């Protein structure tokens, strides 16, 4: 399986994340899966004319291209020319190269939310007219017409990338959800496995980032609405945003970069959070929240407003 990886308009963070893959590492996984990296701008030794020759041979069909991975959004500006981002030394825009290579590839993979939907690169006024490969935000309409596997995340989890590439190399289908994200992680919520779930159950909420209570009510956490198995398979074996005391901002979703409010603030109407857990009617949530708060054990209520566990669980006599 031949693979080419392009870095379009982005920060390169998804490559940095991929290099954190463990057991096996990213390069070992690719070798074990029988994937040959024809070219990666940060990892390959070929540069200049050698790199241009590899890309040209793949684009013209002289060498087979099985997987095209694109990291970062594609800048379509100015005026649809794509010339805001040129691939150095080729005289062609990155957009043109993505389209040429995608037309030859058996599989096209968007690595990260920028490549999938535009992401942070498309935030604000989006002066470069940046889009994802197949999506412009949550709407179809990128620069590549054929199906694209969107490994969304900012940055994406290294395990999501290695598992997707392993499935493709094995000839297996990668089942995706309605936004093209692999279901093996998109069928989960960030809420699943969150270490703050006990506080969530009783609606024992933190009011500052240093406190260990649930961050949904006051600090903008939307892990109950965000897809991802971040707390089931932690980053680097033990980490995630919520495990580190920071609210989930749903970085796997289109439009997460422009939430219309501060990431660490929960928008409310009449004191009620606007964003409620997925699949839960508002009336049910309010009823359950009231009951939960009334039943909150003193231990959980006190610990929620502390920066560490101050009240240990009660010792039960046999």
pLDDT digit string, tens, across residues 150-198:
999 999 999 999 999 999 999 999 999 999 999 999 999 999 999 999 9
The upper half-sphere exposure of residue 121, i.e. CA atoms within 13 Å in the direction of its Cβ, equals 32
**Residue 80, Cβ density class (10 Å: 0-12 exposed, 13-18 middle, ≥19 buried):** exposed
If residue 18 lies in a helix (H) or strand (E), which one and from where to where? helix 13-18
The domain spans of the chain are: 2-186, 188-307
Is 188-307 in the same CATH topology as 2-186?
no
C-beta separation of 65 from 2 below 8 A: yes
pTM: 0.93
In the predicted structure, residue 24 carries a pLDDT above the cut 90: no
Chain length of the chain: 318
Mean pLDDT rounded to a whole number for the chain: 94
Which pLDDT value is given to residue 288?
A: 82
Residue showing tokens 């490559």: 15
- Class of the domain covering 188-307: few secondary structures
- According to CATH, the superfamily of the domain at 2-186 is NADH:ubiquinone oxidoreductase-like, 20kDa subunit (3.40.50.700)
pLDDT digit string, tens, across residues 219-228:
999 999 999 9
Which tokens sit at 8? 């379009």
Higher pLDDT, 292 or 120: 120
**Residue 315, Cβ density class (10 Å: 0-12 exposed, 13-18 middle, ≥19 buried):** exposed
Gap between the Cα atoms of 249 and 240, Å rounded: 12
Gap between the Cα atoms of 145 and 243, Å rounded: 38
Where does 220-277 show beta strands of DSSP type E?
268-269, 272-273
Which pLDDT value is given to residue 291?
A: 87
125 band by pLDDT with thresholds 50, 70 and 90: very high
Which pLDDT value is given to residue 317?
A: 86
3-state DSSP percent of the chain in helix, strand and coil, to 5: 25, 15, 60
């Amino acid at each position: 399986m031949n693979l080419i990886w392009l870095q379009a308009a982005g920060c390169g963070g998804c490559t940095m994340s991929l290099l954190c893959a463990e057991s096996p590492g990213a390069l070992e996984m690719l070798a074990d899966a029988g994937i040959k990296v024809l070219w990666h701008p940060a990892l390959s030794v070929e540069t200049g004319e050698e790199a241009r020759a590899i890309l040209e041979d793949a684009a013209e069909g002289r060498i087979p291209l099985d997987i095209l991975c694109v990291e970062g959004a594609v800048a379509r500006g100015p005026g649809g020319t794509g010339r805001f981002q040129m691939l150095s030394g080729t005289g062609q825009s990155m957009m043109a190269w993505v389209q040429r290579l995608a037309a030859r590839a058996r599989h096209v993979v968007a690595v990260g939310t920028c490549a999938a939907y535009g992401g942070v690169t498309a935030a604000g006024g989006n002066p470069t007219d940046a889009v994802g490969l197949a999506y412009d935000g949550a709407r179809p309409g990128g620069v590549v017409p054929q199906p694209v596997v969107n490994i969304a995340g900012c940055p994406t989890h290294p395990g999501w990338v290695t598992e997707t590439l392993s499935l493709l190399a094995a000839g297996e289908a990668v089942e995706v959800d309605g936004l093209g994200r692999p279901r093996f992680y998109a069928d989960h919520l960030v809420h699943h496995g969150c270490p703050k779930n006990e506080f969530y159950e009783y609606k024992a909420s933190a009011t500052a980032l240093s406190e260990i209570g649930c961050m949904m009510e006051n600090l903008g956490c939307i892990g109950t609405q965000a897809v991802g198995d971040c707390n089931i398979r932690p980053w680097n074996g033990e980490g995630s945003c919520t495990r580190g005391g920071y609210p989930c901002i749903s970085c796997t979703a289109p439009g997460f970069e422009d939430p219309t409010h501060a990431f660490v603030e929960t928008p409310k109407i009449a004191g009620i959070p606007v964003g409620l857990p997925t699949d839960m009617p508002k009336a049910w949530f309010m009823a359950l929240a009231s009951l939960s708060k009334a039943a909150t054990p003193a231990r959980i209520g006190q610990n929620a407003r502390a920066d560490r566990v101050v009240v240990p669980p009660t010792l039960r006599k046999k």
